[in-house]
Amino acid sequence: MADLFTPLLAEEPAREALADGAMLLRGLALPFASALIEAIHGIAAISPFRHMVTAGGHAMSVATTNCGAAGWVSDRSGYRYDAIDPETRKPWPEMPECFAALAELAAIQAGHAQFRPDACLINRYVPGARLSLHQDRNERDFAQPIVSVSLGLPAIFRFGGIRRNDPVRKFALHHGDVVVWGGPARLRFHGVAELKDGFHDQLGRQRINLTFRRAR
């Protein structure tokens, strides 16, 4: 029964260790992509993408919305999680089932059990957009990992260390790739290099990133 293709079919998604506690799961989100994209449209119809402003008063090049019980927000007063979208003054849209299912699957695949995200930050990059090196540290429980899902145009993910000046490694992230970091890697600095121009069949000239966290 076994033939040349059996090992390939039995194989799990390609995984690449980025660091102790950090894993890149290539293509894990591919089977979810259509459902994810449809759900993103629904979310954006309720809580539109907007360019948030940082504490320094600069508008981010990335456009943001959220779903889930808590949403990441930034304005001149700083960063925080809020149950209410400051633009609509209503709760963020509920987290779709396919979002939660993928996040949980990814965490398990990466060896982080018991991941229960209550927040999904949705970032939209158009060519030229970037996210400079930062830490995710506004969450209450650093025992819970971060799960990051890439859709659309490819991007260069920058993954550093615990200290800002630690060396930074770069990884190409494609449509369907998922990065999970937790444990000793939970507070690693990370960012996204300026997005290059291109065209993606499903999303056109953009990249959308889903970042799942347990905020509270």
Q: List the interface residues with DNA, window 92-131 (CB under 7 A).
A: 121, 130-131
Cα–Cα distance for residue pair 33/67, rounded to 1 Å: 17
Residue among 13, 50, 126, 138 that touches DNA (CB under 7 A): 138
Q: Is 134 annotated as a binding residue?
A: yes
- The total number of residues shown for the chain amounts to 216
**Residue 50 phi, psi (nearest 5):** -150, 155
Q: Is 190 annotated as a binding residue?
A: yes
Of 3 and 165, CB closest to DNA: 165
SS3 32: helix
Pick from 216, 215, 210: nearest CA to 96: 210
DSSP state of 61: S
**Residue 214 phi, psi (nearest 5):** -100, 105
Of 158 and 175, CB closest to DNA: 158
Residue among 60, 69, 83, 105 that touches DNA (CB under 7 A): 60
Among the candidate windows 31-39, 41-49, 136-144, 178-186, which touches DNA by CB under 7 A? 136-144
Binding of DNA at residue 77 (CB under 7 A)?
yes
Cα–Cα distance for residue pair 63/43, rounded to 1 Å: 14
Report, in Å, the least distance between residue 178 CB and DNA: 18
Report, in Å, the least distance between residue 80 CB and DNA: 7
Report yes or no: 32 and 102 within 8 Å, Cβ to Cβ: yes
Binding of DNA at residue 177 (CB under 7 A)?
no
For tokens 């905020």, what's the residue? 215
Report, in Å, the least distance between residue 76 CB and DNA: 9
Binding of DNA at residue 163 (CB under 7 A)?
no
Beta carbons within 10 angstroms of residue 112's beta carbon: 22
Binding of DNA at residue 165 (CB under 7 A)?
yes
Binding of DNA at residue 54 (CB under 7 A)?
yes
Secondary-structure percent of the chain, ordered helix, strand, coil, rounded to 5? 20, 35, 45
Task: Give residues in contact with DNA (CB under 7 A).
Answer: 54-56, 58-62, 72, 74, 77-80, 121, 130-138, 164-165, 167-168, 191
Q: Which residues are annotated as a binding site for Fe cation?
A: 134, 136, 190
